[in-house]
C-alpha cells in the first residue's frame, strides 16, 4: 500500500476512534446534564409562581392555578400536584389512578428527608421538584416530568452531534488526503531522483518543489547529486590528466633510453639524453610523491598531529622559505596582521606546506607585490594571500582545487589540491577568487581559545 493511503487510513481510523469515544462520553454526560437542567427549570418556574402566591394573600385563587399551568407548560409533559393542608389536593394534572401513589411517595420522601430528583412511579421514572408553599411545610407544590422525554431529547441531541461529528470526520479525512498527498508527492518524486543517483545519472537529478523539512531534504539530495556529478567528472578528468602527466615523461624517458641503447645517441647527444632522462624521472617522482601524499591526506586518519601554532610565525616561515623564488621573480611580500598573534590548533608541518603551495603559486603569478593579511573575525582567523598578477581565468576558477588542474606556469597541478586537503582536514576552509589587482586566496581557520 502506498504511503499516501497508509497515512490517510491511519488518520481516518484514529479519527473514527476519537469520534466514537467522544460520542460515548457525550451520550453519558448529556443525560445527567439534561436532567439537572430540567430540574432547575422546574424549580425556577415553581418558585416564581410561589412568590406570586405569597404576595397575593392566604388563599390560592383559581386564576393563580391557571397561571401555574401556563407557567410550567413546555414542549415536554409536566405533571402538577398542589397539596394544601391535610393532604388536600388543590390542583393536579396527575391521573386519579396514580394520585395516591404520588402522595404516599411524597410523604415517604418528606419523612426520610430525602430529596432525590428521580422518582419511580409505576414503571416510569420522573424528574421531581417539591417546593413548600407559604402556609407551612404541609402545603407543597410538586412538579414532575418524565425522564423518558429527556432521554428522547438526549437521543435527538446525540444524533445531531453524531451527524455533525461524522460530517466533520469525513471532511477532515478528505482534507487530510489532499494535505498528505501534497506532502507525499514530493517524497515520491524524490524517490525517483534518488534512483537516478543510484544509477549514477547525477546530471539528470532535478530540484523537487516542496516546503518545510522536505524542501531541505530535496535541496540536500539535489546539491549532493551536483557534488557527485562534479566529483565523477573530476575523477574522469583526474584519470585523463594523470595518464597524460605520467605518459609524457615516460615517453621521453623511453625514447632517449632506447636511442642510447640502439646507438642512435652518442657522445654529447647521449649525455643530453641522459640529462633529459634524469630530469623527467625527477618530475615523474614528484608527481607520484604528490599523488601518494594527496591520497594519504584524504584517507588516513592518523596522519595529522595537531598542536598550538602561531599563525604569524607560520606565515613568516613560509615567506623565508620562498625568499630565493621571490628574489628570482622580483617579487616582494608584505605581511599585515590585524590581530594580536592569533593561534590555531594544526599540524604545523602540513599546514606550512599548504601555505607554501598557495604562496608559491602567488609568487609565480605576481608582477611585483604580494600582500598577506591576517585578521580575526567571528571566532576564526582569516589568512588572505593577495597578488597583483593577472588573476585566475574564469573557466579555471570552478575547478581550481581539483587534481591536475594547472594554470599558466603550473607545475604538477596537485599543489592546490593538496592545500585544500590539508586545510579541510585541519578543520578550516579555503577559497579562491579575483580581487581588484589579482588573485585572492582566503584560508579560514577556527581560533584556538585559551
Categorize the per-residue pLDDT at 287 as very low, low, confident or very high, splitting at 50, 70 and 90: confident
Q: Is the pLDDT reported for residue 427 higher than 80?
A: yes
Q: Please, are residues 447 and 427 in contact by the beta-carbon 8 Å criterion?
A: no
Shared domain for 235 and 370, answered yes or no, is no
Residue 440, strand partner residues = 386, 433
- pLDDT at residue 79, as a whole number: 82
> Is 394 a member of any domain?
yes
User: Average pLDDT, stretch 179-193?
Assistant: 76
Buried b (16+ CB within 10 A) or exposed e, 312-321: bebbeebbee
Other Cβ atoms closer than 10 A to 249: 20
Shared domain for 139 and 21, answered yes or no, is yes
Pairwise CA distance, residues 156 & 112, whole Å: 37
User: Which helix (DSSP H) or strand (DSSP E) does residue 154 occupy?
Assistant: helix 147-198
User: What CATH number should be reported for the domain holding residue 418?
Assistant: 3.30.565.10
Categorize the per-residue pLDDT at 8 as very low, low, confident or very high, splitting at 50, 70 and 90: confident
> Is 176 a member of any domain?
no
Pairwise CA distance, residues 153 & 167, whole Å: 21
Shared domain for 10 and 80, answered yes or no, is yes
> Is 313 a member of any domain?
yes
Q: Is the pLDDT reported for residue 325 higher than 80?
A: yes
Shared domain for 275 and 349, answered yes or no, is no
Q: Is the pLDDT reported for residue 405 higher than 70?
A: no
User: Average pLDDT, stretch 418-440?
Assistant: 87
Q: Please, are residues 30 and 157 in contact by the beta-carbon 8 Å criterion?
A: yes
Of 114, 130, 153, the one marking the end of a domain is: 153
- pLDDT at residue 136, as a whole number: 54
Shared domain for 136 and 226, answered yes or no, is no
Shared domain for 352 and 280, answered yes or no, is no
Shared domain for 234 and 314, answered yes or no, is no
C-alpha distances in Å from residue 77, one per residue of 42, 126, 181, 204: 12, 11, 54, 78
Shared domain for 270 and 333, answered yes or no, is no
Shared domain for 359 and 284, answered yes or no, is no
Shared domain for 436 and 370, answered yes or no, is yes
Categorize the per-residue pLDDT at 239 as very low, low, confident or very high, splitting at 50, 70 and 90: low
For the ranges 110-114, 131-135, 175-179, the lowest mean pLDDT is seen at 110-114
- pLDDT at residue 99, as a whole number: 81
Give the number of domains in the chain.
3
DSSP letter string over 248-311? HHHHHHHHHHHHHHTTSS-THHHHHHHHHHHHHHHHHHHHHHHHHHHHHHHH-STT---EEEEH
> Is 40 a member of any domain?
yes
CA angle 62–64–66, rounded 5-degree value = 75
Q: Which three cell numbers stand for residue 447?
A: 581560533
Of 234, 268, 299, the one marking the end of a domain is: 299
User: What CATH number should be reported for the domain holding residue 27?
Assistant: 3.30.450
Structural domain boundaries enclosing 93: 3-153
Of 273, 299, 325, the one marking the end of a domain is: 299
> Is 438 a member of any domain?
yes
Categorize the per-residue pLDDT at 410 as very low, low, confident or very high, splitting at 50, 70 and 90: low
Q: What is the pLDDT of residues 70-125, one digit of tens each?
A: 777 666 678 888 887 777 888 888 887 778 788 777 777 765 555 556 787 777 78
| pLDDT, the chain, mean | 79
User: Average pLDDT, stretch 37-44?
Assistant: 85
- pLDDT at residue 93, as a whole number: 82
Shared domain for 255 and 126, answered yes or no, is no
Shared domain for 9 and 147, answered yes or no, is yes
Q: If DSSP codes are grouped into helix, strand and coil, which group holds residue 124?
A: strand
Amino acid at each position: 500500500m502506498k504511503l499516501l493511503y497508509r497515512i490517510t487510513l491511519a488518520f481516518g481510523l484514529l479519527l473514527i476512534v476519537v469520534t466514537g469515544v467522544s460520542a460515548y462520553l457525550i451520550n453519558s454526560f448529556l443525560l445527567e446534564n439534561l436532567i439537572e437542567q430540567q430540574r432547575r427549570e422546574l424549580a425556577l418556574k415553581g418558585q416564581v409562581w410561589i412568590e406570586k402566591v405569597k404576595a397575593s394573600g392566604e388563599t390560592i385563587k383559581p386564576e393563580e392555578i391557571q397561571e401555574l399551568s401556563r407557567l410550567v407548560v413546555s414542549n415536554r409533559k409536566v405533571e402538577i400536584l398542589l397539596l394544601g393542608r391535610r393532604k388536600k389536593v388543590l390542583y393536579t394534572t396527575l391521573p386519579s389512578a396514580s394520585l395516591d401513589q404520588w402522595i404516599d411517595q411524597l410523604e415517604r420522601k418528606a419523612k426520610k428527608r430525602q430529596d432525590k430528583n428521580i422518582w419511580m412511579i409505576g414503571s416510569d421514572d420522573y424528574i421531581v421538584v417539591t417546593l413548600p408553599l407559604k402556609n407551612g411545610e404541609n402545603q407543597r407544590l410538586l412538579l414532575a416530568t418524565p425522564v423518558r422525554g429527556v432521554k428522547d431529547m438526549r437521543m435527538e441531541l446525540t444524533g445531531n452531534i453524531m451527524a455533525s461529528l461524522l460530517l466533520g470526520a469525513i471532511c477532515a479525512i478528505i482534507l487530510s488526503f489532499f494535505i498528505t498527498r501534497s506532502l507525499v508527492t514530493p517524497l515520491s518524486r524524490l524517490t525517483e531522483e534518488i534512483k537516478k543517483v543510484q544509477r549514477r545519472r547525477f546530471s539528470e537529478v532535478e530540484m523537487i518543489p516542496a516546503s518545510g523539512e522536505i524542501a531541505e531534504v530535496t535541496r540536500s539530495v539535489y546539491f549532493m547529486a551536483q557534488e557527485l556529478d562534479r566529483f565523477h567528472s573530476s575523477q574522469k578528468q583526474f584519470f585523463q590528466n594523470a595518464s597524460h602527466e605520467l605518459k609524457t615523461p615516460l615517453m621521453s624517458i623511453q625514447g632517449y633510453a632506447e636511442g642510447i641503447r640502439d646507438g642512435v645517441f652518442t657522445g654529447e647527444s647521449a649525455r643530453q639524453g641522459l640529462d633529459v632522462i634524469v630530469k623527467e624521472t625527477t618530475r615523474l617522482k614528484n608527481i607520484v610523491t604528490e599523488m601518494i601524499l594527496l591520497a594519504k591526506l584524504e584517507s588516513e586518519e592518523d596522519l595529522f598531529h595537531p598542536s598550538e601554532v602561531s599563525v604569524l610565525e607560520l606565515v613568516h616561515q613560509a615567506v623565508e622559505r620562498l625568499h630565493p623564488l621571490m628574489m628570482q621573480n622580483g617579487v616582494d611580500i608584505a605581511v599585515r596582521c590585524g590581530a594580536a598573534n592569533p593561534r590555531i590548533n594544526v599540524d604545523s608541518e602540513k599546514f606550512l606546506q599548504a601555505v607554501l603551495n598557495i604562496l608559491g603559486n602567488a609568487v609565480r603569478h605576481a608582477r611585483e607585490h604580494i600582500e598577506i593579511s591576517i585578521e580575526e573575525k567571528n571566532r576564526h582567523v582569516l589568512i588572505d594571500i593577495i597578488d597583483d598578477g593577472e588573476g585566475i581565468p574564469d573557466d579555471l576558477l570552478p575547478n581550481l582545487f581539483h587534481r591536475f588542474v594547472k594554470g599558466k606556469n603550473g607545475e604538477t597541478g596537485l599543489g592546490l589540491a593538496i592545500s585544500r586537503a590539508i586545510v579541510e582536514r585541519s578543520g578550516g576552509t579555503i577559497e579562491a577568487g579575483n580581487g581588484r589587482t589579482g588573485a585572492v586566496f582566503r584560508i579560514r581557520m577556527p581560533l584556538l581559545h585559551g
